[in-house]
Structure 1
Amino acid sequence: MPENDTATGFKNRIIEAVPGVNHNFAARCANRIKRRADRMQEEFDFYESLRILGLVSDTTARDAVRNLETVTA
């Protein structure tokens, strides 16, 4: 089972799912997926840090994100 948290792991999973795919296209898609996953994790870490610092009183980071989005919307 390939690692899922690396671009190579994503590329291997794409190639397994779609055997006839061009390897360069799979690599480009894997890089996009990796960047998106990294950005999502950074945002989660940011809100988790707010909770740890006591700036947001929610017990979970997901609740904090949801509450902050409803306040700003």
Structure 2
Amino acid sequence: MRTNPILTFWLAYIVTRPLGASFADWLGVSPSRGGLDCGTGVVSLALAVLIAVFVVRMTLVSRSSLRGPA
């Protein structure tokens, strides 16, 4: 089943952006505000590393699938 890539992007963006922002806020704010107080810098760095790992993994998987069976 093929999906429209533009529609898929926007649906993913609309769903994940508020969830990601809420999660990052929860990790970064102080316990008095209901968070874990990890700090915004640490949370930003951790999420940036996580995104980079996912991008590299997806790139490697995509390249290996283009080569076909070994």
- Normalising by structure 2, we get a TM-score of 0.48
Structure with the bigger percentage of helix? 2
